[in-house]
Amino acid sequence: MHCVQAVIYLRVYLLRLTFADGMVKDVDLAPYLNGAIFTPLCDLDYFKTVRVNPDVDTIVWDNGADFAPEFLYEIGQPTPIEETVST
């Protein structure tokens, strides 16, 4: 399992996630914000309230929206080391 340990908002629907295995990936969630639970996330101010819930090892929002950590790991793009150091 790929547990999410940290999240940083980068820009419109793009998050930088750090996983338990040390991998850092940028995840663009724009294509996945459909359906009743995810529609509120289209509001950028609300989207930015994302946080890691260590009880479920993934990112969550107050309305109950979350994404499986394995899915996030799969769709994420590895971040070059120099970018992870400067953030």
Are 4 and 17 in contact, with CB atoms under 8 Å apart? yes
Helices (H), 1-87: 44-47, 69-75, 81-86
Average pLDDT over residues 17-33: 97
Q: Give the β-pairing of 4-11 and 51-53.
A: unpaired
Average pLDDT over residues 5-20: 98
Instruction: Give tens-digit pLDDT for 56-74.
Output: 999 999 999 999 999 999 9
pLDDT band at 53 (very low <50, low <70, confident <90, very high): very high
CB within 8 Å of 79: residues ≥ 6 apart: 16, 24, 25, 26
**Taking the model in full, what pTM does it have?**
0.90
The one-letter amino acid code at 85 reads V
- Quick check: 36 pLDDT over 70? yes
Structure tokens at 14: 């793009």
How many Å apart are CA 24 and CA 19, to the nearest integer?
A: 6
CATH of span 4-80: 3.30.2020.10
Listed by start position, the domains of the chain span 4-80
